[in-house]
A and B are shown apart, each in its own frame.
Chain A
Amino acid sequence: MIAPDTSTPRAAYEVRVCAGSACVANGSLQIAQRFEEAIARNGLAGSVRVIKTGCHGLCARGPVVVVGPDGVFYPAVDLDAADRIIVSVLGDREPVEPLLFRESPGADSIARYADVPFNARQQRIVLRNCGVIDPESLDSAFAAGDYVALSTALATMTPEQVIEMVRDSGLRGRGGAGFSTGMKWQLARAAEGDLKYLCCNADEGDPGAFMDRAVLEGDPHAVLEGMALAAYAIGASEGYVYVRAEYPLAVKRLRKAIADAEARGLLGKDIMGSGFSYSVSIREGAGAFVCGEETALIASVEGRRGMPRPRPPFPTTSGLWNRPTCINNVETLANIPWIVANGAEAYAAIGTGNSKGTKVFALTGHVHYTGLVEVPMGLTVREMVHEIGGGSSSERPIKAVQIGGPSGGCLPASLFDTHIDYDALASVGAVVGSGGLVAVDKSTCMVEFARYFLAFTQDESCGKCVPCRIGTKRMLEIVTRITEGHGQPGDIETLERLGNLVRSTSLCALGGTAANPVLTTLKYFREEYEEHISEKKCRAHACGALSTYAVIPEKCKGCGVCKKNCPVNAISSVIKEQYTIDPDTCVKCGICEAKCPFDAIIRV
């Protein structure tokens, strides 16, 4: 039914410049322009083509440029590098050796993007077209196979068959709760109502998470196709994408994708002549984390303050304007066309027991390679951190990972053999969640780390229910005073009591999971809390109030740079050559540590 536009010769040599948010922030659009100008100058527009793609994943080494059919990878490209790459592209097309990726300076180069260790364990289903296609071109999406699944399903499958397929694939919602997508659709299909909605939850508010943004920016048509398939399955005729206004690029590309799809009859009335109609509009959220919670999302779309309400009734029974409403996450939906195209069995063959398929994670923290990774469910934390992330980015070992963002749990290195799937993570107190994964080394204080997440959830609490509004505040106050050296005996017990209260009695999952970072760090890093409280000591030297700076006499050469730079005159030279820091005057700004040419100042 759909004929890809073949006006652009497929044989053109392709230069893929990453136009994901991170690379754009690092200047990738200017680089793309540089390429385009050079190509035009040389009159080669027909044979060399610049594609501005979505996120490639390895954001830490952006701007990313991937060239030619072999996918030659140039990391951290600047304008100078771009000029040299152009010479190669327009000339002999040999990889520019000095610009290629290296694991460390002086190491052997790795030419192909696919061969970078960061990619070795990855399997791209959701991100199949991210970094490959031009997300602003429907033809580019067609060429990559978008909308084939929809056209096949509309022509050959009943809605029930689509539901059955998705149920059998074992796909579970990627928005955090992990509910079976097929079952949710079944409930929505069975719900009574003449008008049903199928909505996409693109609120993605967890700090550090950018999986959904990457999909929307890199392959918006995959999400729209997933929405149309879901709508067909449940019998929905209208829907919204609820996307945060802080994602302007995603909103822009989505808007264009919807318009393009409508213009070609892939969305809207009588899709591809099948008689099935489904129209999509965008609702921009104003940046409240809680609006990602489905009942709050509904309130927000309806124009009310985004506050959760108790379930049941579940949205599949009574959602937007009291109509049956199915809400699915971006990543969930982006899986659907692949499942419909490749079959339930192919999907179910990936992953472990109750956790099928792949999951996209935003890997951040103290690892070499931070970025976006998509892996089969069931990889171990160790594989994630050491093989994909390339291990610690410092000489300090990785001591913990936080999986699942502010609702997730903190796991110690001793549990790094835990498999990353729903059941295994739950058994150790963590969650797959939406897919934030932060690895931290020994310079991170686990009390402070937990405080950071708790401060986020307390701030984002909608304030409706007592345990979340006041309970997390009291917990935050206690954790904060512990990091400030004012912890008291009994604080740990109070934290546990409050943590349990907040977890057991909160109305929605924001409060229900808010205590997880504190409870898991208390479980696995209790000694750090105890040291803060009884010894007033932070082993990571991260808590300002509990640490200070000192001069190592053996290393100090007496140059006096520290003294000159100290803004509060806390450094004196007692005997001519020996510098000391007065801990009472020191304001812990760290300038001396940074300025000392001999690394003679340390945080203690």
Chain B
Amino acid sequence: MNTRGIINTSAVATGAQATGVVEGSMVTLAIDGRVVTARPGATVLETCREAGVHIPTLCHDPRLEPYGACRLCIVEIEGMRGYPTSCTTVVAQDMAVTTTSETLRALRSDLVELLLSDHKVECLTCEASGGCGLQDLAYEFGIETSRFEGAKHVSEVDDPNPLIARDPAKCISCGRCVRICDEVQGCHVWGHTKRGFDALPDTPSSVSLLDAGCEFCGQCVSTCPTGALTDRVGRFRGRRWEVTWTETTCGYCGVGCAIEFATKGGQIVGARAPLDKGPNYGNLCAKGRYGWSFAQHPDRLTTPLVRRDGELTPATWDEALSLVAQKLAAIRDEHTGSAVAGLASAKCTNEENYLFQKLLRAGIGTHNIDHCARL
């Protein structure tokens, strides 16, 4: 996977400081006249971001390999022709980078205007609004309407899947969906299709995501900078600025991904992963991203139940666990440990699974132990 992410970068940088790596192995360069040190191999964009210098981007995602498609991150570099893209240019010793100038601003602003000229602008109801890269840039450059006009892509796409909403009329062809599916998921559901103005990411032969082998991890949704790919489940259930994000650890499996849940009115309406936290650094699987409706399900158990007089009745953990321990011990004493079997869960960590088998083997004395991941 990608090793260039800002997260990984800072990890390397901190590591370097901690182990006392000398300045000499770092690269010194000037950003807008300010001297900055950078990790060799870092891109100009990464270095600028670490130094707190803002450069607009749309096709960049730290989870992905540098791509250079939106052209918004252009800078001027002394001795280099034209306007190199900072996301694809690697730092060099004594490089002199200019990130803002009248010309750069005009070029970037025109690029945003071009994007807006082929965009279904409906921020009033768009799910991306408030978290949309294009909207932010239109604001940054003060573009009320695009000077350029002409043909536009239309929203025609009939994809009946329950999780991912697609609107090609809002796609900016940044290729992030294609790349995350290729580079991170290895699923290759998306591809670039057609040429010229008509070029757009799509599934093979434009089949639905269900037919294209999509795993519904929602990684493409997570990287899409606009409203072209959005979560269906959270639709109209909370604007970006209305929800509260709560950070936690995903309970589904032993990986323990960092996850944030969006809630509004005490209800979960969405999930995402913070880019800068491991082990998953922004990535989630289908269960983590979309499998949270159980949390509010009326059938969900919120406390242990113990059968009393044939009726399942709420109990405390202590009551429930003592009862289980008591019954297991009785079975072992009466029928030997082999009468007991244990099935461990993929939801547990390795350490938890280790303790579980220890309990069964040493505590109960059985070899009858298995794991749901084997099924």
Given A474-B148, A504-B83: A459 and B195 interface contact (C-beta under 8 Å): yes
Chain B 131-151 against A: per-residue CB contact (8 Å), 1 yes, 0 no? Answer: 000000000000000011111
Given A474-B117, A504-B82, A504-B83: A469 and B68 interface contact (C-beta under 8 Å): no
Chain B neighbourhood of A507, CB < 8 A? 68-69, 71, 85
Is B88 interfacial (CB-CB < 8 Å)?
Answer: yes
Check A505–B195 contact: CB distance below 8 A. Answer: no
Is A494 interfacial (CB-CB < 8 Å)?
Answer: yes
CA of A390 to CA of B196, assembled, Å: 38
What distance in Å separates the Cβ of A77 from its nearest Cβ neighbour in chain B? 41
Chain B neighbourhood of A458, CB < 8 A? 196-197
Check A469–B111 contact: CB distance below 8 A. Answer: no
Chain B neighbourhood of A310, CB < 8 A? 66, 68, 85, 88-89
Chain B neighbourhood of A272, CB < 8 A? none
**Beyond A464-B173, A465-B69, A477-B151: 20 further Cβ-contacts under 8 Å?**
A288-B195, A305-B191, A463-B198, A465-B71, A466-B69, A466-B115, A466-B173, A467-B114, A469-B196, A470-B117, A470-B148, A473-B197, A474-B114, A474-B117, A498-B110, A504-B82, A504-B107, A505-B83, A505-B111, A507-B69
CA of A465 to CA of B87, assembled, Å: 14
Q: What are 18 A-to-B residue pairs whose CB atoms are below 8 Å?
A: A305-B191, A461-B199, A462-B199, A463-B173, A463-B194, A463-B200, A464-B173, A465-B68, A465-B70, A466-B70, A467-B71, A470-B114, A470-B115, A474-B114, A501-B111, A504-B83, A505-B107, A507-B69
Given A310-B66, A504-B82: A466 and B111 interface contact (C-beta under 8 Å): yes
The 9 A-B pairs with the shortest beta carbon distances in the complex, nearest first, are A463-B199, A473-B197, A310-B88, A477-B150, A310-B68, A470-B114, A505-B71, A459-B196, A474-B148
CA of A477 to CA of B149, assembled, Å: 9
Check A466–B150 contact: CB distance below 8 A. Answer: no
Is A309 interfacial (CB-CB < 8 Å)?
Answer: yes
Which chain B residues in 170-185 approach chain A with CB under 8 Å?
172-173, 175
Q: How many interface residues does A have (CB within 8 Å)?
A: 31
What distance in Å separates the Cβ of B291 from its nearest Cβ neighbour in chain A? 33
Which of A309, A459, A463, A466 touches B114 (beta carbons < 8 Å)? A466
Check A469–B199 contact: CB distance below 8 A. Answer: yes
Which of B74, B172, B191 touches A505 (beta carbons < 8 Å)? B74
Given A310-B68, A469-B173: A462 and B150 interface contact (C-beta under 8 Å): no
What distance in Å separates the Cβ of A196 from its nearest Cβ neighbour in chain B? 22
Give me the interface of B with A, judged by CB distance under 8 Å. 66-72, 74, 82-83, 85, 88-90, 107, 110-111, 114-115, 117-118, 147-151, 172-173, 175, 191-192, 194-200
What distance in Å separates the Cβ of B118 from its nearest Cβ neighbour in chain A? 5
Check A466–B195 contact: CB distance below 8 A. Answer: no
Check B117–A497 contact: CB distance below 8 A. Answer: no
Given A462-B199, A463-B173, A501-B110: A307 and B150 interface contact (C-beta under 8 Å): no
Chain B neighbourhood of A471, CB < 8 A? 114
Which chain A residues in 458-494 approach chain B with CB under 8 Å?
458-467, 469-471, 473-474, 477, 494
Chain B neighbourhood of A462, CB < 8 A? 192, 195, 199
Which chain A residues in 337-367 approach chain B with CB under 8 Å?
none
Contact residues of B: prevailing secondary structure: loop
A307, A310, A459: most-surrounded residue (chain B CB, <10 A) = A310
Check A461–B66 contact: CB distance below 8 A. Answer: no
Which chain A residues in 2-33 approach chain B with CB under 8 Å?
none
CA of A296 to CA of B107, assembled, Å: 25
What distance in Å separates the Cβ of A20 from its nearest Cβ neighbour in chain B? 30
Chain A neighbourhood of B114, CB < 8 A? 466-467, 470-471, 474, 501
CA of A462 to CA of B200, assembled, Å: 10
Chain B neighbourhood of A461, CB < 8 A? 195-197, 199
CA of A474 to CA of B146, assembled, Å: 12
What distance in Å separates the Cβ of B7 from its nearest Cβ neighbour in chain A? 23
CA of A474 to CA of B197, assembled, Å: 9
Chain A neighbourhood of B192, CB < 8 A? 305, 307, 462-464
CA of A464 to CA of B196, assembled, Å: 9
What distance in Å separates the Cβ of A126 from its nearest Cβ neighbour in chain B? 29
Chain A neighbourhood of B147, CB < 8 A? 494
CA of A467 to CA of B148, assembled, Å: 12
* Chain A residue at minimal CB-CB distance from B182: A304
Chain B neighbourhood of A459, CB < 8 A? 195-196
B110, B149, B191: most-surrounded residue (chain A CB, <10 A) = B110
CA of A463 to CA of B70, assembled, Å: 11
Chain A neighbourhood of B67, CB < 8 A? 309
* Chain A residue at minimal CB-CB distance from B148: A474
Given A463-B194, A466-B172: A501 and B68 interface contact (C-beta under 8 Å): no
CA of A186 to CA of B74, assembled, Å: 30
CA of A414 to CA of B117, assembled, Å: 39
Chain A neighbourhood of B111, CB < 8 A? 466-467, 501, 505
What distance in Å separates the Cβ of A318 from its nearest Cβ neighbour in chain B? 12
What distance in Å separates the Cβ of A431 from its nearest Cβ neighbour in chain B? 15
Check A473–B150 contact: CB distance below 8 A. Answer: yes
Chain B neighbourhood of A504, CB < 8 A? 82-83, 107
Check B107–A501 contact: CB distance below 8 A. Answer: yes
B147, B151, B197: most-surrounded residue (chain A CB, <10 A) = B197
CA of A305 to CA of B197, assembled, Å: 17
CA of A410 to CA of B198, assembled, Å: 28
Chain B neighbourhood of A465, CB < 8 A? 68-71
Chain A 226-239 against B: per-residue CB contact (8 Å), 1 yes, 0 no? Answer: 00000000000000
CA of A57 to CA of B95, assembled, Å: 50
CA of A507 to CA of B87, assembled, Å: 12
Chain A neighbourhood of B66, CB < 8 A? 310
CA of A498 to CA of B110, assembled, Å: 8
CA of A498 to CA of B111, assembled, Å: 10
* Chain A residue at minimal CB-CB distance from B115: A466
Chain A neighbourhood of B85, CB < 8 A? 310, 507
Chain A 426-466 against B: per-residue CB contact (8 Å), 1 yes, 0 no? Answer: 00000000000000000000000000000000111111111
* Chain B residue at minimal CB-CB distance from A505: B71
Chain A 286-311 against B: per-residue CB contact (8 Å), 1 yes, 0 no? Answer: 00101000000000000001010110
CA of A458 to CA of B198, assembled, Å: 10
Check A494–B148 contact: CB distance below 8 A. Answer: yes
Given A305-B192, A465-B69: A470 and B197 interface contact (C-beta under 8 Å): yes
CA of A100 to CA of B199, assembled, Å: 52
Given A494-B148, A507-B68: A469 and B74 interface contact (C-beta under 8 Å): no
A470, A471, A474: most-surrounded residue (chain B CB, <10 A) = A470
What distance in Å separates the Cβ of A292 from its nearest Cβ neighbour in chain B? 14
